[in-house]
């Protein structure tokens, strides 16, 4: 089994793409350690896969460090980090009606998304990188998005974080490659998580219509991407962002 004796950390691993990723690595015999802010869902997922759960707020650098330190104390190493955790708080930069300003993205919504999606990934990578440097190997993977590559209406904050992930991935690949550490990102398209399933069917139909493969992604599709990039088959790939989007190009 390709990930026997490998320790895989997954943030936001309680549900959705994170849960599917945890399942995928478990199938390859990895020791999977997930973190999430949802303790009930996190414990349930860990129990289902035979993995390990920690409740961690990834915006808290000290909490992240304590998590990483405890994992290393228990297992001795960290082979893969998947920065999957993220949030949405959509809204237009400014919204006008009949020539009058009627709304704008709240500053708190901008700050929250930046804190979780971008700073959270930074916190986790910075905590894990010294462990990987000392052992001379490791893989850091992060969740970008097609929004981070193409932009998306009503997602100034989210798009900024996901574009930031692309940039940080390139920097970390340059900085850490000399230590045997590879760094890549995934850019999912519209993916049928539990949250997306709750959207009106009309919206889902529109997503499918704009996807050349005429279906939404499944969490497993994204998990397979993470799995590939973490595997030895991707041993000469670093600094890249892999689109897994069914061919979609976001319109205006």
Domains of the chain, CATH where assigned: 7-242 (3.40.50.720)
136 has pLDDT over 70: yes
More confident residue, 250 or 10: 10
pLDDT, tens only, 137-173: 999 999 999 999 999 899 999 999 999 999 999 999 9
Compute the Cα dihedral for 67, 73, 74, 77 and give only its sign.
positive
pLDDT confidence tier of residue 251, bands split at 50, 70 and 90: low
Residue for token pair 């397979």 = 224
> Where does the chain show beta strands of DSSP type E?
7-11, 31-36, 52-55, 80-83, 94-97, 100-104, 138-143, 181-188, 241-244
Which residues lie closer than 8 Å to 197 by C-beta, 6 or more apart? none
Read off φ and ψ for residue 242, nearest 5 degrees.
-95, 120
252 has pLDDT over 70: no
Token pair listed for 200? 């009106």
| Residues forming the active site | 158
The two most distant CA atoms of the chain are separated, in Å, by: 62
């Amino acid at each position: 089994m390709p990930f026997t004796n490998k320790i895989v950390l997954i943030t936001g691993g309680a549900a959705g793409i994170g849960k599917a990723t945890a399942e995928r690595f478990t199938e390859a015999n990895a020791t999977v350690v997930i973190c999430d802010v949802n303790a009930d869902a996190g414990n349930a997922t860990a129990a289902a896969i035979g993995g390990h759960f920690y409740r961690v707020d990834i915006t808290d650098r000290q909490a992240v460090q304590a998590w990483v330190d405890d994992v290393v104390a228990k297992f001795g190493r960290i082979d893969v980090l998947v920065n999957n955790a993220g949030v949405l708080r959509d809204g237009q930069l400014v919204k006008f009606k009949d020539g009058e300003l009627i709304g704008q993205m709240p500053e708190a919504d901008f700050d929250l998304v930046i804190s979780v999606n971008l700073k959270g990934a930074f916190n986790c990578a910075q905590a894990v990188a010294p462990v990987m440097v000392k052992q001379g190997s490791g893989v850091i993977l992060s969740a970008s998005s097609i929004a981070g590559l193409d932009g998306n209406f009503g997602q100034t904050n989210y798009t900024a974080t996901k574009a930031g992930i692309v940039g940080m991935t390139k920097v970390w690949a340059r900085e850490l490659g000399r230590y045997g550490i590879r760094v890549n990102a995934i850019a999912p398209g519209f993916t049928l998580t539990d949250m997306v399933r709750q959207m009106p069917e009309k919206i889902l139909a529109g997503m499918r219509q704009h996807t050349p493969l005429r279906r939404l992604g499944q969490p497993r599709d994204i998990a397979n991407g993470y799995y590939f990039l973490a595997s030895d088959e991707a041993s000469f790939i670093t600094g890249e962002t892999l689109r897994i989007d069914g061919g979609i190009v976001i319109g205006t």
